[in-house]
Amino acid sequence: MDFRTVFVLCALAGPVLGDSAISKPRSCADIRQFYTGKGFGTSGVPQAEISVVDSALSWVMSSLPVVDGALSWVMSSLPVVDDGLSWVMSSLPVVDGALSWVMSSLPVVDGALSWVMSSLPVVDSALSWVMSSLPVVDDGLSWVMSSLPVVDSALSWVMSSLPVVDDGLSWVMSSLPVVDGALSWVMSSLLVVDSALSWVMSSLPVVLCPG
Q: What mean pLDDT comes out for the span 175-198?
A: 92
Least confident of 109-123, 140-154, 194-208: 194-208
pLDDT, position 211: 59
pLDDT, position 54: 78
25/13 Cα distance (integer angstroms): 8
Question: Is the pLDDT reported for residue 26 higher than 60?
Answer: no
pLDDT, position 61: 87
The percent of residues above 90 in pLDDT, for the chain, comes to 62
Q: What mean pLDDT comes out for the span 169-183?
A: 92
DSSP at 24: P
28/43 Cα distance (integer angstroms): 14
**What would the pLDDT profile of 195-206 be if each residue is shown by its tens digit?**
999 898 888 877
Strands (E), 29-92: none
pLDDT, position 28: 60
pLDDT, position 17: 45
**What would the pLDDT profile of 47-94 be if each residue is shown by its tens digit?**
666 677 778 888 888 889 999 999 999 999 999 999 999 999 999 999
pLDDT, position 208: 72
Cα distances from 162 to residues 150, 152, 167, in angstroms, run 18, 15, 8
Interior/surface letters 122-135, b for 16+ CB within 10 angstroms, e for the rest: eeeeeeeeeeeeee
Q: What mean pLDDT comes out for the span 182-190?
A: 93
Residue in 6, 16, 18 with CA at minimum distance from that of residue 47: 6
pLDDT, position 203: 84
Q: What mean pLDDT comes out for the span 176-198?
A: 92
Domain locations along the chain: 3-75, 172-202
Q: Are 31 and 9 in contact (CB under 8 A)?
A: yes
Cβ-based neighbours of 23, under 8 Å, separated by 6 or more = 14, 61
For 62-67, the CB contacts below 8 A with 24+ separation are 64/22, 65/22
- Average pLDDT of the chain to the nearest whole number: 83
Cα 13 from chain centroid? 72
